[in-house]
Amino acid sequence: MPADTVPKMALRRFAWDLDLAQDELIHLLELTARLKRSPGAYARALAGRYLSLLFEKPSLRTRLTFELAIKQLGGDAVFSNGRIAEREPLKDVARNLDRWTHAIVARVFRQQTIEELARWSAVPVINALSDLYHPCQALADVFTLKERFGELRGLKLAFVGDGNNVAHSLMLTAPRLGVHLAVATPPAYAPQAEIAATAAGLAAASGAELTLTTDPAEALEGADAVYTDVWTSMGFEQQAGERRRVFQPYQVNGALFDQARPDAIFLHCLPAKRGEEVTEEVIESPRSLVFEQAENRLHTQKALLLMMLE
């Protein structure tokens, strides 16, 4: 590969979305497209490189796409589940793993765990999900939009439901690419104010519009893509009954989906609770790209690993 094909990231961590600089974000999307078209060209790019996968939460897509990503690039991965710092301090865990493997991918309950790992590790740390952010998901989301529509600038994305980690990462990623973003949540489940303020600044700098509302119909008006996530994330199971009641008006059903553009697509990071945040008719409609979106987790994460490790 030419030396300028896969630039190294300036920051040797991907703890949250803004660790990826603007030019790196744009390049990652371009590199993802090349990887998806010609995977064989990169089949030995990370030969001899190994990932530590630390998962406090269960996973299908995140674990398997990271394992497949490193393997398809010629490397390999080791996996550990359960509470990371249960038996020894996080700083000791980090300083063991950075002597055995070339990067740490962590899926955790608290963002502080990611920050602590990144503080002590001499190798890159990648946030595979925390309570505040899901940056790897956001990369796959914007790539899916680019793949479908060709141009990101000027698109409108509507996110409906819980102002959670997925919403936060979309707010920090989509506006930087010129995507107008509308987020509709119940009042008590709005995105965190500090993250919303940061996202508003990013949107102002790029010329994108960022709208926070409690009205799902308002959010979907003119939307090119409609996105939702489960109402009850892992760790909030005791609130499931109350959340079902509060979020019912935010269900993406046929009537709500019709508020978007006629050619609008549907997105979901999965797993989905059919009959709760989305109905069967929407998620199984021809305009649903949820499985293309899931596939793109593999390709964007391959690009991320190349940029951090090649």
Tens digits of per-residue pLDDT, 128-148?
999 999 999 999 999 999 999
User: Is 205 in the same domain as 273?
Assistant: yes
Is the pLDDT at 1 greater than 80? The verdict is no
Residue 6 belongs to a domain: no
Q: What's the pLDDT score for residue 200? A: 98
What per-residue string of b and e applies to 148-171 under the rule 16 or more CB within 10 Å gives b? beeebeebbbbbbbbbbbbbbbbb
Indicate the pairing of strand 265-268 with strand 225-228: parallel
Work out the average pLDDT over 267-284.
98
Is the pLDDT at 60 greater than 90? The verdict is yes
Residue 168 belongs to a domain: yes
Q: What's the pLDDT score for residue 2? A: 42
Q: What's the pLDDT score for residue 242? A: 95
User: Is 156 in the same domain as 288?
Assistant: yes
User: Is 156 in the same domain as 226?
Assistant: yes
What per-residue string of b and e applies to 107-139 under the rule 16 or more CB within 10 Å gives b? bbeebebbbbbbebbebbbbbbbbbbbbbbbbb
Q: What's the pLDDT score for residue 234? A: 77
pLDDT grade for 11, boundaries at 50, 70 and 90? low
Amino acid letter, residue 297: R
Q: What's the pLDDT score for residue 83? A: 94
Residue 17 belongs to a domain: yes
Q: pLDDT tens, 159-205?
A: 999 999 999 999 999 999 999 999 999 999 999 999 999 999 999 99
Q: Which domain holds residue 79?
A: 13-133+296-309
What is the DSSP track for 57-92?
Answer: S--SHHHHHHHHHHHHTT-EEEEEES-TTSSS-HHH
Give the residue among 117, 125, 175 at the shortest CA–CA distance from 145: 175
User: Is 225 in the same domain as 200?
Assistant: yes
C-alpha distance from residue 115 to each of 16, 77, 167 (Å): 9, 21, 20
- Rounded Cα gap, residues 127 and 196, in angstroms: 20
Q: pLDDT tens, 211-255?
A: 999 999 999 999 999 999 999 987 788 899 999 999 999 999 999
Mean pLDDT of the chain: 95
User: Is 123 in the same domain as 183?
Assistant: no
Which percentage of the chain shows pLDDT scores above 70?
96
19: which 2 tokens?
């660790």
The CATH number given to whatever domain includes residue 75 is 3.40.50.1370
Is the pLDDT at 4 greater than 80? The verdict is no
- The total number of structural domains in the chain stands at 2
User: Is 225 in the same domain as 90?
Assistant: no
User: Is 129 in the same domain as 231?
Assistant: no
Helix axes 165-173, 135-149, angle to 10 degrees: 50
Is the pLDDT at 5 greater than 60? The verdict is no
CB neighbour list of residue 87: distance below 8 Å, 6 or more residues apart? none
Is the pLDDT at 292 greater than 90? The verdict is yes
User: Is 87 in the same domain as 123?
Assistant: yes
Residue 4 belongs to a domain: no
User: Is 203 in the same domain as 245?
Assistant: yes
State the DSSP H helix or E strand holding residue 135, giving kind and residue range, or none if neither: helix 135-149
User: Is 100 in the same domain as 195?
Assistant: no
User: Is 247 in the same domain as 303?
Assistant: no
Q: What's the pLDDT score for residue 6? A: 57
- Rounded Cα gap, residues 278 and 14, in angstroms: 31
DSSP class of residue 151?
Answer: -
pTM of the model: 0.95
- Rounded Cα gap, residues 301 and 152, in angstroms: 20
Residues with a known catalytic role:
107, 134, 137, 229, 269, 297
